[in-house]
Amino acid sequence: QRLPELLRRMPKAELHIHIEGSLEPELIFEMARRNGVAIPYASVEELRRAYAFTNLQSFLDIYYAGASVLITERDFFDMAWAYLEKARGDNVVRAEIFFDPQTHTARGVEMETVINGLHRACEKAQTDLGVSASLILCFLRHLSEEEAFETLEQALPWRDKFIGVGLDSSEVGHPPEKFARVFARCRELGLHLVAHAGEEGPPAYVWTALDLLKVERVDHGVQSSKDPQLMRRLAQDRIPLTVCPLSNLKLCVFPKLQDHNLRQLLDAGLMATVNSDDPAYFGGYVNDNFLQTFEATGLSAQQAWQLANNSFEASFIPAQEKRKYR
Ligand code: ES4
Ligand code: ZN
């Protein structure tokens, strides 16, 4: 029983967590009640039973429905605070948190409400929990690049409250190159750049995320193992992949956890990390991802140390601050 204990207790950074995907059914019902928002489920149990996904889109439909209860700054604070307390319990000492502003501004929620609520929780995490937390604004790739530009414009008054931008939502049919201009603008602004690529989509989307968007990390990226030349590129350039094993299992990217390619990525010398993605929907927070994946695939203590180390190496903590995590 020493390996599970090591996995639970080792300090780690979480680099791939959608804050809207941390909203537990109990909190969805509580916010629906206090905000007078109708939801098409009779109970927490009935909602949880609907969490049976066949692919990314089947999940996204219910994830956007869940997020519709978020109205006030307090809602955004409470959601992020609940996640950060869970993260502290998993010995997460650094969290880089995705949020999807377009999911909220499209319903009439102000950008200021979203960012201030989330950012206040991040500040409180530092002071009360000793967890360093930063925000990454994600553009929804099923929407247009013009809408991404508008979203960036709306967020720029709060430029100091997020450290980077990402790209998420429905991948297939919405390749990275659709967002080349807005990512170029974000780069000029000094924002960190990441994108989901190679979750369900082909290795070609990982190539264009790297070469056209110039991302510093690839979110998921597990389809890269289908392209040996891409694997060499990722290894040589030390491009981190933020892998989310339970997400891949629940969205049927791999039929069983035993079939996950995390070991193959590590063996090829890639900087893979383990993350939770949407923990309220996929059956576990980051330690559940570590424990279940190690159990299913037989990874070692040495690989646990490697993954924890990779998480800090891949994080956007300033370089001089990084030394203290080594
Ligand atoms: C997501 Cl698992 C996943 N993939 C793409 N976009 C997302 N947004 C929230 N979770
Ligand atoms: Zn994700």
pLDDT single digits (tens) 55-80: 999 999 999 999 999 999 999 999 99
Closest ligand to the CA of 194: 2
User: What's the CA gap between 90 and 93, in Å, rounded?
Assistant: 9
Residues 6+ apart with CB under 8 A from 163: 96, 134, 135, 136, 191, 192, 316
ipTM over 0.90: yes
State whether the beta carbon of 196 lies less than 6 angstroms from ligand 1: yes
Domain ranges of the chain: 2-314
Residue whose CB lies within 8 A of the most ligand 1 atoms, among 64, 244, 250, 278, for a mutation test: 278
pLDDT at residue 236 above 80? yes
**pLDDT tens, residue by residue, 156-178:** 999 999 999 999 999 999 999 99
CATH architecture of the domain with range 2-314:
Alpha-Beta Barrel (3.20)
What confidence score (pLDDT) does residue 220 get?
Answer: 99
What confidence score (pLDDT) does residue 324 get?
Answer: 80
As a whole-number percent, the residues of the chain with pLDDT over 70 amount to: 100
What confidence score (pLDDT) does residue 13 get?
Answer: 98
Residue type, 206: V
Of the listed 199, 200, 216, 321, which one is catalytic?
199
The response to whether 259 counts as a known ligand-binding position is: no
State whether the beta carbon of 219 lies less than 6 angstroms from ligand 1: no
Per-residue pLDDT band for 320 (boundaries 50, 70, 90) equals: confident
110 is catalytic: no
Distance 103 CA to ligand 2 centre (A): 15
Mean local confidence (pLDDT), 272-276: 99
Closest ligand to the CA of 16: 2
The response to whether 278 counts as a known ligand-binding position is: yes
CA separation, residue 306 to residues 9, 133, 178, 238, 312 (Å): 14, 22, 34, 14, 10
The response to whether 220 counts as a known ligand-binding position is: no
